[in-house]
A and B are shown apart, each in its own frame.
Chain A
Amino acid sequence: DQQVKQNSPSLSVQEGRISILNCDYTNSMFDYFLWYKKYPAEGPTFLISISSIKDKNEDGRFTVFLNKSAKHLSLHIVPSQPGDSAVYFCAASAAGTASKLTFGTGTRLQVTL
């Protein structure tokens, strides 16, 4: 049972345009959501997070939106840059669970020139 789903395995976007990565979850107990970025042969690195008490969080070019009623979150990257090409993982955790993360399967973003 996949509790965190990323239904798009890959996404290609032109440099300068907006990249939108989507994530859905099924577990109502999740209250903290994170996006990680992963380059080949490296570990995931934290990008941005959002608590369930918010519906938006911004950090520079990166914005995460949370729609609790739809159990959906999205990551917007504006403008996209070639260095953003990586695999992006959505992750979620629930309060009182020792910050254990449940990951989606990832979306490979390719930013083209």
Chain B
Amino acid sequence: NAGVTQTPKFRVLKTGQSMTLLCAQDMNHEYMYWYRQDPGMGLRLIHYSVGEGTTAKGEVPDGYNVSRLKKQNFLLGLESAAPSQTSVYFCASSSMNTEAFFGQGTRLTVV
């Protein structure tokens, strides 16, 4: 009963490097989301997906790209990391009209 699994849990990047955060859910949820959490700002939506092959921008999408090639996976990419992208990233999934289930988070530091 894994729920939502994020990989990796921690990562340190140098400015300008790229990386991909992986999110997998085993609950057959249609919707998936990427949020970032910064001190004093709660969680903010980066991108989301309403189904396989679809993605849409959230509140803070700049500097990120996403892909949902399979229903169970949602990938978040940083093409050229910046210090402003230092944050804790949470993936979540849900069905229509149900609560969202969150992964354990990825702590990313960009130096």
Contact = CB atoms under 8 A, between A and B. Distances in A.
A49 interface: yes
Given A32-B97, A99-B94, A100-B33, 7 more contacts: A46-B101, A49-B99, A98-B48, A100-B48, A101-B92, A102-B45, A105-B42
Interface stretch (A12-20, A36-44, A55-63): A36-44
Interface residues of A, number: 24
Interface in B22-79: 31, 33, 35, 40-45, 48, 50, 56, 58
A42 B104 CA distance: 5
Contact of A104 (B42, B48, B94, B104): B42
A41 B100 contact: no
Contacts of B43: 44, 89, 91, 101, 103
Interface residues of B, number: 27
- Which one of A34, A44, A91, A104 has the greatest number of beta carbons of chain B within 10 Å? A44
A101 B91 CA distance: 12
B99 A43 contact: no
Interface of B: 4, 31, 33, 35, 40-45, 48, 50, 56, 58, 90, 92, 94, 96-105
Interface of A is mostly: loop
A6 B101 CA distance: 21
Contact of A99 (B58, B90, B100, B103): B100
Interface string A82-103: 0000000101000000111111
Nearest to A105: B42
Contacts of B94: 99
B97 A44 contact: no
Contacts of A104: 42
A102 B48 CA distance: 13
Contacts of B98: 99
A34 B94 CA distance: 13
B57 to A, nearest CB: 11
A91 B94 CA distance: 14
Contacts of A89: 42-43
